[in-house]
């Protein structure tokens, strides 16, 4: 019996498409095809790989509006954000199209006159990727572009909620001449496909963006075949506001960080830690601006906050808000909902909570929703202690115009990505990744192609 995943619009609950689930045999065959294709793709010269990547980027940009609409339909984010994500996705392809030509080796002076030593870099093999629903275009290209640039072949399993964007991007890659077995997608249950990927003799690397528990399972299962892994896992980002910060700037940047994609990003501000002397002014300013945010269908004009992706995500957000209120948090704005389980849509209105404390779930668990909890501090050391008090270490933000305070925070925050007076620090040209239980490795920048390369050392003797 053929199985299908139903892809629904989270803003309306209406069915968009049904996507056929691959059989286990089909996935196994795809892995073997990717492995076999590696023998040819890895021998394609770097300039040709670069040319094909640029063509792929251009083709995506030609269909930018269509891709963005598909993304909004299956993901729910505002169309303006989807258009921005298409640009973000192609920025990775553009960056690694250039990096393909800059995979350098080196020579090392030998300890004897009769030897020569050469170090070369080679592609690692077939790469298997598992990507999340919240950025279905960018998280795919952030992995595929460096893999293909390095000479690896690539296979991706997109999230069940948002497979259509990935399918479209892979089809466009084939249209411009990237071989079909060099970049593939498979559709299936996350656990089943993950086990196939990690156990496969054909896969040499696993790259994953998603929750920490799933990442830990993939790492553990990859150990039996000693696969390379890159993991971009959960976060619980603090945003620290010093007493001297420009509060108008902070409000603007906090909204950018916290409410993008309805707060459903791994780097959005989850804990807003405000100096006690400015928390009253800041909370009033933030609440006033948050009240202006328009909630609705992402395809509607001027929508700024779309739906929560599904009932599971919605339930978690509501439980965190209720737990905080029960424990004494004050609702400055929000704690309002438009949800219909029968029809299948779930909206959470942007919410600001004041008088939050560390005993509340929202201070311990990643929210993945449009909720901004505010907690105060007196000394900067206290703010750092609150910020570092979780096992996560993906992104952190702080706002101060004092260089001593800024330097102290930069040196003491245990996070892989830090924004100083900047709520949107991501980019294709910078290394993205976390510390502690937020991940292994980096994506983007010069560092982003390294996980797809092996180092080989050649010693030539008897010269």
Query: What residues are labeled active site?
Result: 232, 266
Phi, then psi, of 258 in degrees rounded to 5: -75, -40
DSSP H/E element including 207: strand 203-209
DSSP H/E element including 331: strand 330-333
Phi, then psi, of 180 in degrees rounded to 5: -60, -35
360 burial class (0-12, 13-18, 19+ CB within 10 angstroms)? buried
Output the CA torsion 160→162→164→169 (10° steps): -110
- Residue 418, beta-bridge partner list: 396
Within 223-330, residue ranges assigned H as helices are 247-259, 279-290, 311-326
Q: Can you give the length of the chain in residues?
A: 463
Dihedral angle sign, alpha carbons of residues 215, 211, 206, 32: positive
- Residue 17, beta-bridge partner list: 7
Q: Helix (H, G, I), strand (E, B), or coil: what is residue 33?
A: helix
The DSSP symbol for 306 reads -
Within 350-400, residue ranges assigned H as helices are 380-387
Instruction: Give the angle 454-458-463 at the CA atoms, nearest 5°.
Output: 170
Contact 413, 255 (CB under 8 A): no
Q: How many CA atoms lie within 13 A of 172 on its CB side?
A: 24
Q: How many of the other CB atoms lie within 10 Å of CB of 319?
A: 13
Q: Helix (H, G, I), strand (E, B), or coil: what is residue 188?
A: coil
- Which residue from 149, 148, 172, 167 is spatially nearest to 157, judged by alpha carbons? 167
> What would you report as the CA-atom Rg of the chain, rounded to the nearest whole angstrom?
23
Within 151-271, residue ranges assigned H as helices are 163-175, 190-199, 212-222, 247-259
Contact 121, 105 (CB under 8 A): yes
Q: Cα(first)–Cα(last) distance of the chain, in Å?
A: 65
Distance CA(30)–CA(137), nearest Å, equals 21
């Amino acid at each position: 019996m053929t199985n299908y995943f139903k892809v629904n619009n989270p803003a309306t609950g209406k069915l968009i498409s049904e996507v056929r689930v691959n059989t286990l045999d089909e996935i196994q065959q795809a892995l073997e095809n990717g492995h076999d294709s590696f023998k040819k793709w890895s021998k394609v010269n770097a300039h040709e790989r670069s040319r094909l990547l640029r063509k792929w980027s251009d083709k995506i940009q030609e269909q930018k509006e269509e891709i963005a609409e598909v993304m909004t339909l299956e993901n729910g984010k505002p169309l303006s954000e989807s258009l921005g994500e298409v640009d973000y996705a192609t920025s990775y392809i553009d960056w690694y199209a250039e990096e393909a030509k800059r995979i350098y080796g080196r020579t090392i002076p030998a300890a004897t006159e009769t030897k020569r030593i050469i170090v070369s870099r080679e592609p690692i093999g077939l790469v298997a990727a598992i990507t999340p629903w919240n950025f279905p275009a960018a998280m795919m290209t952030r992995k595929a572009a460096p893999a293909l640039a390095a000479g690896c072949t690539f296979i991706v399993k997109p999230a069940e909620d948002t497979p259509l964007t990935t399918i479209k991007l892979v089809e466009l890659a084939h249209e411009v001449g990237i071989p079909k077995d060099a970049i593939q997608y498979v559709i299936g249950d996350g656990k089943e496909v993950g086990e196939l990927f990690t156990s496969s003799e054909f896969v040499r690397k696993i790259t994953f963006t998603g929750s920490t528990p799933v990442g830990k399972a993939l790492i553990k299962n990859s150990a039996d075949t000693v696969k390379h892994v890159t993991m971009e896992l959960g976060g619980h980002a603090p945003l620290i506001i010093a007493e001297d910060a420009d509060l108008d700037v902070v409000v603007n940047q906090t909204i950018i960080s916290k409410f993008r994609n309805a707060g459903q990003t791994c780097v959005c501000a989850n804990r807003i830690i405000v100096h006690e002397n400015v928390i009253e002014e800041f909370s009033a300013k933030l609440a006033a601006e948050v009240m202006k945010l328009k909630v609705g269908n992402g395809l509607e004009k001027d929508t700024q906050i779309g739906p929560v992706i599904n009932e599971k995500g919605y339930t978690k957000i509501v439980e965190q808000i209720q737990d905080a209120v029960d424990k004494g948090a004050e609702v400055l704005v929000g704690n309002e909902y438009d949800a219909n389980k029968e029809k299948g849509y779930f909206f959470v209105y942007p919410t600001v909570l004041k008088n939050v404390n560390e005993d509340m779930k929202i201070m311990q668990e990643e929210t993945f929703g449009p909720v901004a909890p505010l907690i105060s501090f007196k000394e900067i050391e206290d703010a750092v202690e609150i910020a570092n008090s979780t096992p996560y270490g993906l992104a952190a933000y702080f706002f101060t115009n004092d260089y001593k305070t800024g330097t102290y925070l930069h040196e003491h925050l245990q996070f892989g990505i830090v924004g100083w007076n900047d709520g949107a620090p991501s980019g294709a040209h910078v290394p993205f990744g976390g510390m502690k239980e937020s991940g292994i490795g980096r994506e983007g920048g010069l560092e982003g192609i390294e996980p797809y390369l092996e180092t080989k050392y050649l010693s030539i003797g008897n010269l």
